[in-house]
Amino acid sequence: MTRSVGRIFSGFRCFGSLPFGNPPLKTQCSSVLFRTTSERTLMHALPKIFGRKPRDFSLPNSSWGKEMMQLYNHYNRLSKETTEGQEDHGEQWTRLPSYNRTLKYATGGVYLSKIIQSKARLFTRNIRDPGASFEYVIFFRQDKLKCACIFQAGHLLEGAPGHVHGGAIATMIDTITGTHASLLSAPVMTANLNINYRSPIPLGSTVLIESILDKEDGRKRYISCRVTSTDGSKLHTEATGLFLSISVSHLLKR
């Protein structure tokens, strides 16, 4: 299979340098590309694999409620507007795009994820049905000292009747604090996460999850987090996390 894939990509290189008016060269490249049935099958699949435009799950969809859209528009305005005549001290916000699996859309990552890890999916983006589970969008300040996540919990995240499962809340806390840490020094891994649940989150409601960088110490990033109602009047959950920056080689170990 490795040799087959190698021959296929050799064929791509051949096509890339192919003069359209040279039939002998076309014939030679075809013999490289289509030696086996399995290779022909893979070649037919490649345009669908590599040509599909990735879906950004952090953009509004029909399932977003009023509060979700209001907060999204609020941070979106802050991401585009800078007060005229004032200096930007890092208080402008930036929206983070979010895909099924970020690796797929990094340079070269599509090959790893689609061919080698074809069944892998980012957990919070695994359900494609809008509004069924994790609906969220993350914004970060340009100085990277703070992140804000707007989270709407779908019906698949039920724990206690009518309320969001504590594990789903922990997942979102780990997601935003981990994302925040990775903005500071990617890649990172969660070393410790302490969560205190203060009040339950009604299923289907929208909450604001804010993370703040508390301290940096060598490879360590200490981040605190609060989950509140959209107007900030009610505290649902608070947490602290410790994240360690690691090398890429560490991630590739099996």
Q: Determine the Cα–Cα distance for residues 222 and 141; give it in Å rounded to an integer.
A: 17
| 174 annotated active-site | yes
**Which amino acid is it at 78?**
L
3-state secondary structure of 224: strand
> How far is 190 from 138, CA to CA, in rounded Å?
18
Burial (0-12, 13-18, 19+ Cβ within 10 Å), 243: buried
Give bridge partners of residue 139 from the DSSP assignment.
95, 148
- How crowded is the C-beta side of 194, counted as CA atoms within 13 Å? 5
Ranges assigned E (strand) in the chain: 93-96, 134-141, 146-153, 188-197, 206-217, 220-229, 235-245
- Strands 235-245 and 146-153, how do they pair? unpaired
Secondary element (H or E) of residue 230: none
Phi, psi of 141 (to 5 degrees): -75, 150
Identified catalytic residue from 174, 214, 217, 231: 174
CA separation for the pair 208, 138 (Å, rounded)? 10
Sheet harboring 134-141: ordered strands across? 93-96, 134-141, 146-153, 206-217, 220-229, 235-245, 188-197
Residues that are catalytic: 174
